Amino acid sequence: MAQSIINSVSFLPSWFQLIFISMVPIIELRGAIPWGIFVLHYPIVLNYILCVLGSIIPAPFILLFIQSILRWMRANKYTRKFALWLDKKADKGSKKIQEYKFWGLMIFVAIPLPGTGVWTGCLAASVMEMSFKKAFISVTLGSMIAGIIVTVLCSLGLIAVS
């Protein structure tokens, strides 16, 4: 699925591909950074900046609107199951970081594994009712750290694009 999403934006300018791919849930910068380094051959620093920027663009919208969207989804018979699945995922993520709030959320987002990115972090922050400012700063720092980790792993040859 990730490869088909990436292929569907290949007609766009390369800098916009990186930003867009970084914005997509599940892929985020964990997929965009290797794509930029190995396929688009972007300079590492520019690649990092574009991917981190792309990963945090959705954050304010998620933080501001996710609770209203989930309420609507829970009330709709066609989206109720998905909303309940998201609730469960957010609750699970927020329990892991509840004790440390700001720092826990930052570390959660910083770990570049599936299900720990900006989207899930913002969802967990909304469940914990963190203030917008604290949540946004925390997920931004976490995304920056995740970007550094993925960039270093790519530079060492430990992550590649297949």
Tens digit of each residue's pLDDT (9 = 90 or more) over 87-145: 787 777 666 677 788 999 999 999 998 888 999 899 889 888 899 999 999 999 999 99
The per-residue pLDDT for 126 is 87
**What pTM, to 2 d.p., does this model score?**
0.86
Structure tokens at 3: 């490869």
| Unique residue bearing structure tokens 């981190």 | 52
* Calpha distance 24→54 (Å, rounded): 9
Name 17's Cβ contacts closer than 8 Å, sequence gap at least 6: 6, 9, 10, 35, 40
pLDDT computed for residue 2 by the predictor: 64
The more confidently predicted of residues 149 and 70 is 149
Within 10 angstroms of residue 66's Cβ, the number of other Cβ atoms is 18
> Which is higher by pLDDT, 60 or 87?
60
For residue 83, what are its two tokens? 């909303």
